[in-house]
Chains A and B, each alone.
Chain A
Amino acid sequence: MASEPPATPTRPRKGSAGAGGPRYPGWLALPAVLWYALFFLAPLGILALFSVSERVGFSEVAYNFNLQNFSDLVDPLYGKIFLRTLELAAVGTLLTLLIGFPLAYYIARWGRRKSLLLLLIIVPFWTSMLIRTYAWLILLDPGFATFDVLRWLHLAGENPEVLFTSKAVYIGVVYTYLPLMVLPIYAALERMDWSLVEAAQDLGDGPVTAFRRITLPLAGPGIVAGSLLVFIPMLGEYLNPVILGGDKTIYVGNLIGQQFLDSRDWPFGSAMAMVVIAVMTVVVLLYVRLVSRSQRHAS
């Protein structure tokens, strides 16, 4: 990243302990901090407040403190939806990793026009998620050529039922988040010294052993970062179940959406969102611990 040599400070100054770059006054952070406080932290605060409040009448809310919303969530019906969502996020992350790792590996080790290959990964990530999702509405249509090809390859039966099932949701989330898995793994593998792998193989390690002993430890941080980036949005996935799942299988994101759009029980929906935040926090803390441990190992 550092394309210019680091500056040697002419004299030590207070506040020059940061990450580098020319010196600018700290008050420049104020507009952003204010914006975050008003429109990001305050909303999350009100969300927390709502989750312990109760609905009065059709859509009024009475602020108070009780955990009724959370105890209402302890119900087999909601438990099933939460478990289903965890499964989607876990299996979806695993599938994304299995599909994404070899791709990142190829680009890092053998890719010839790396910047073009990476651009081709980045472009879908910055392309409308909505359009990329509804494209599968066409591809998974039983009348579309996809299934002719699959039938010809004997990979599909006569009447494949994929669209508007959970299979379509899985395809959709893997497709949506694949770039987020590939990029950090690539970033980790980019620093690899591939001659190490060749040396290990020359010394009699099989490819699998060489992979496990050399590639995997180096790719580890990338794998963990990619999994985090993919797992969290899958926890709150909304679009794929609605568009590709035909809104038939409900996940937590849809359940939250329903509380805010249809049934207008905002406090109950807020409690669900708090559960998502709790799971997310646990995952992020695990990530931070993993990272700091591997950094300690490295040093």
Chain B
Amino acid sequence: MWRLQALLLAVGAHATDPSIDTLKARGRPRDLGEIVIGLAQAQAKNITGLEGSFYTRTSDGVYHVRAVR
């Protein structure tokens, strides 16, 4: 269990974590995630969506869910 606990990955939201303090001092992350390759870059390459999971999306923007959870 010690190892398990020691390996826990924590998202950068713990104010007491010195590593995260370092990140905040550098002005990031502003949120826990942010877009780094988005609409503008994708459109320039005629890409309608970037790597994702397996679903069907048609050009009308509708997602066709093919699996029932």
A binds B: no
A residues engaging B (CB < 8 A)? none
- Interface residues, chain B, with chain A CB atoms under 8 Å away: none
